[in-house]
Structure 1
Amino acid sequence: MSDTPIYDFVKSYNESGTVRMHMPGHKGQALLGAERLDITEIKGADYLYEAEGIIRRSEEIASGLYGSARTLFSTEGSSFSIKGMLACAKAFLGAGARFAAARNCHRAFLNGCILLDIDPMWIFPGKSSRSVCSSEVTAEDVRRTLEQDPSIRAVYITSPDYFGNMSDIAGIAEVCHRKGAILLVDNAHGAYLKFAGEGLHPLDCGADLCCDSVHKTLPALTGASLLHISKRAPHGLAERAPEEMSLFGSTSPSYVIMQSIERCMLELKNGLSEGIRKFCKEVSAHKARLLSAGFELAGQEPMKITLSAAVKGRSGGELAEHLRKKGIEPEYADRLYVVLMPTPYNRPGDLEAVTSVLEALPDKGAPLLSDDPEISVPKKAMSPREAYFRPFRRIPVEEAVGKVCARTAMSCQPSIPVIAGGEVFDEKIIKILKNYGIFRADVVE
């Protein structure tokens, strides 16, 4: 049986010379170059949310590689997979079930909560943090939250986080299941973890549902994502998933992106898995050199490099600009950190070029100290959904103290909330917003 059933169908259709009296309008004519691979749900092409043909067979190949009960394709990124995951959990658990989530969630989680009328309880780690990106929630933090509110039936964790910190998913899963809750994991940055070593991917650690952004760390086009339902998940979750995904997805999914996922899975079967493990060792060696050069590194994720620019007396923005002048574009920079995301598909010598530039960087002065306040639980006035649909106005953040946030305030990247809808602005929040370059905010009238 073919490892690329979607691609094979599209290729055969292209070669058939069939007159295209259907969408899309380009009719396979080359404008950008990918048009010949771009079709719609014609006869034989299957339907993403009712997949029984070529899409279902391709999803089953991905499911086999990841060891899931069911894996579903998303061509709209993990933003779509996250909302589908939430809908699946809520439909399964019932309207009254409560959700708890680590605060370093992506905006897609909050958007899903607004659409599905979920009012999340936030899990803040016992270990304080000065960055919205990082929230190293522990199993003990989850246990404490579940005992505080026994009505919580689902826990949502982001791991790895944007800086590469990885939560103890196995420990958290054990706590959740002991307390009768299911565990959902946003593993958008860790699609490769299944192949980087034993016990790193959430499915192998006890998560019931998780999403992977294939495009972030594996060779797939932007928008390629997977939603996995674990073999350990309660009976009925896997069966519900396609219909719940259809609540949010386009009825015209990208066949180009689905073929990209398919080709990525073929790469994994044909040697990329071994290549990932080898590359992670290479990244580890470069991290050791950066530590020797005086840098501090954040996170445990094996294929991500998160540098503290502050120890070199520079801001993250300054270090990022230095890299750009040397022909290197980083993933992200804030006031203190720079995030680099290499993969095995970087050109030979790319890692060496980056490390050499960083090793040659002189200290600018004394290490910078963060003046960011510690992230804490804001006062809550109403649910995110109620706040979102209230009349609102946009004002300078200095005028927002004591007012209720109408629309979640965040910077992009990393699209992680500083303050969520329904929460009350205070002086600490205002300072954090300014530090992330946010100077206006929407408040409930």
Structure 2
Amino acid sequence: MSAPIYEFAKNYAESGVSRFHMPGHKGKPLHGLEPLDLTEIRGADYLFGAEGIIAESENRTAKLYGTAKTLYSTEGSSLCIKSMLAIADHCRADRQHRMLVIAPRNVHKAFINACILLDIDVKWVYPAVKSRSLCSSAVTADDISAAIDSCPRNPDAVYITSPDYLGFIADIPAISSLCRTHGVPLIVDNAHGAYLKFLDHDTHPITLGADMCCDSAHKTLPCYTGGAMLHISRSAPAGFVECSKLMMSLFASTSPSYLIMQSLDLCSEYLAGDYPAALAKTAGRTELCKRRLNDMGWRTIGDEKCKLTIASAEGGISGDSLGDILRQNKIEPEYTDPDLVVLMTSPFNTEEDFVRLESAMSEIPVTKGTDLEFDGIPEAVVRLPIRQAAFALQQVIPAEEAAGRICGMTVTSCQPSVPIAVSGEEITPEIISILKRYGISDISVLR
């Protein structure tokens, strides 16, 4: 049985059994997938105590990624991020202090939520090279080393995002080597990089030395939205594997989607087949598209093989305006902001898709625009611990009136949910300027 979860659901759907169990649709089609939508009936296994078909599928995926353990998530990388920090917290030796994590600012909001729930302190890393945008971070091993040296005590974990939202990839081998020297686990938000394992040159974080990472399968692989994986390295600290399911269950729904698990199951079967060859072809076509856009005068940035990030403002048009033009040409980008347009590719993009994009871009005149503006977040003025501020009494006020106030609930831009101001930080004029730039007019502050 190559896809055990899917095969079980398919056989059950065809069995004609009278369903006196959840869900309430009883397998009768409304949207179309109801016959395959199950709950934890006998034989279906249980995600957070997997011993049957789910365990079999997860074990196969672990072999594909070369991990000690791979856990499925039906609630995206957001669940994985909370779980990874909980695992590291549960297994740390020093229990005299709150957990201390070193991280650059381009973390996803799920990281901040985990810090609130677990009462984690964060030592923010401000790279020597200014961030490329709010969504990005040029963090290096030297930046991490400087942050460790300036910590009042040895941190409990180092956490980075790679690839970032713009497609830049950190030097994980150097950072992981540094972490091993200091005896600190390295956790990587690899939400955008599930496919990296299957490139001609394997650049997946686990391969490169991370102790744990999360992959949003739905972002780059053929998987339903919400499908993700938490990977634990074979060299991870003691206890990580053993407590992982328990820690994930603390944050997860007790009714995980069997449709998403089937999608992860079938995705794993696909990865074990012809996917590497299809991915190589897509990476080559994406590179050709980049070259063609460059020849038109557009500048593309980033390291990812399956991501196109266009520095549109340098070509005389804002990213938001370029996105609108692309939509008029039946092209929907992943993300736009005043400076950039991000597009993601996979083997399921057709040649027609690429040709349509290249044709649309060729019709837009390239002029001398403005240099890429950087939205490096100014160094935080921390007034209260994150958890204390998040649960304090708050009020919403206009952002322009917030100078000197303490941020209540963390404020982010919309996707990719990168924090501009974190709970407990002082709102400065520089922060207010960035809020305005991203169209955020109100902010929650402490009373």
TM-score relative to the length of structure 2: 0.97
Q: Distance in 2 between matches of 1:7 and 1:246?
A: 22
2:86 pairs with 1:87: yes
Question: Displacement of 1:370 after TM fit?
Answer: 5.6
Deviations 1:185-208 (A, max 9, x none): 000000001011324100110000
Is 7-16 or 28-37 further displaced after alignment? 7-16
2:349 pairs with 1:346: yes
AA aligned to 1:82 is I
Query: Which residue matches 1:68?
Result: 67
Question: Displacement of 1:374 after TM fit?
Answer: 3.8
For the residue of structure 2 that corresponds to 1:152, the secondary structure is coil
Question: Displacement of 1:373 after TM fit?
Answer: 5.5
Query: Which residue matches 1:437?
Result: 439
Is 161-170 or 351-360 further displaced after alignment? 351-360
Query: Which residue matches 1:185?
Result: 188
Question: Displacement of 1:35 after TM fit?
Answer: 0.5
2:276 pairs with 1:277: no
CA contact (8 A) 2:134 2:374 kept: no
AA aligned to 2:35 is R
Q: Percent identity?
A: 47
CA contact (8 A) 2:206 2:233 kept: yes
AA aligned to 1:147 is D
Alignment of 1:138-217 (within 5 A): 138-149=140-151, 150-217=153-220
Deviations 1:2-52 (A, max 9, x none): 111111111222222221111000000000011011000011111111101
Q: Distance in 2 between matches of 1:290 and 1:371?
A: 21
Instruction: Count residues in correspondence.
Output: 443
Query: Which residue matches 1:107?
Result: 109
CA contact (8 A) 1:85 1:184 kept: yes
Query: Which residue matches 2:369?
Result: 367
Q: Distance in 2 between matches of 1:340 and 1:394?
A: 34
Question: Displacement of 1:375 after TM fit?
Answer: 2.5
Q: Distance in 1 between matches of 2:173 and 2:264?
A: 27
Query: Which residue matches 1:243?
Result: 246
Structure 1: gaps spanning 5 or more residues? none
CA contact (8 A) 2:314 2:372 kept: no
CA contact (8 A) 1:373 1:428 kept: no
Query: Which residue matches 2:235?
Result: 232
CA contact (8 A) 2:333 2:341 kept: yes
Question: Displacement of 1:72 after TM fit?
Answer: 0.3
CA contact (8 A) 2:88 2:156 kept: no
CA contact (8 A) 1:128 1:375 kept: no
CA contact (8 A) 2:37 2:259 kept: yes
Question: Displacement of 1:438 after TM fit?
Answer: 0.6
AA aligned to 1:85 is M
CA contact (8 A) 1:311 1:366 kept: yes
Q: Distance in 2 between matches of 1:298 and 1:347?
A: 22
Question: Displacement of 1:372 after TM fit?
Answer: 5.6
C-alpha change, 1:371 and 1:169, in structure 2 (3 Å) is closer
2:387 pairs with 1:392: no
Question: Displacement of 1:368 after TM fit?
Answer: 2.5
Alignment of 1:240-389 (within 5 A): 240-363=243-366, 365-369=367-371, 374-389=376-391
CA contact (8 A) 1:155 1:176 kept: yes
Q: Distance in 2 between matches of 1:237 and 1:166?
A: 25
Q: Distance in 2 between matches of 1:358 and 1:321?
A: 12
Question: Displacement of 1:242 after TM fit?
Answer: 0.4
CA contact (8 A) 2:378 2:431 kept: no
Deviations 1:258-311 (A, max 9, x none): 000111111111201221122101111111111111111121011000001112
CA contact (8 A) 1:382 1:422 kept: yes
Q: Distance in 1 between matches of 2:419 and 2:209?
A: 27
CA RMSD of aligned residues (A): 1.2
For the residue of structure 2 that corresponds to 1:345, the secondary structure is coil
Alignment of 1:44-59 (within 5 A): 44-59=43-58
Q: Distance in 2 between matches of 1:383 and 1:428?
A: 21
For the residue of structure 2 that corresponds to 1:121, the secondary structure is strand
For the residue of structure 2 that corresponds to 1:349, the secondary structure is helix
Q: Distance in 2 between matches of 1:146 and 1:351?
A: 44
Structure 2: gaps spanning 5 or more residues? none
AA aligned to 2:309 is T
Q: Distance in 2 between matches of 1:9 and 1:371?
A: 52
CA contact (8 A) 1:165 1:301 kept: yes
For the residue of structure 1 that corresponds to 2:326, the secondary structure is helix
TM-score relative to the length of structure 1: 0.97
Question: Displacement of 1:369 after TM fit?
Answer: 4.3
Q: Distance in 1 between matches of 2:4 and 2:235?
A: 28
Q: Distance in 1 between matches of 2:73 and 2:230?
A: 7
AA aligned to 1:83 is K
Deviations 1:301-351 (A, max 9, x none): 110000011122111111001101111010000000000011110133211
Query: Which residue matches 1:16?
Result: 15
CA contact (8 A) 2:134 2:376 kept: no
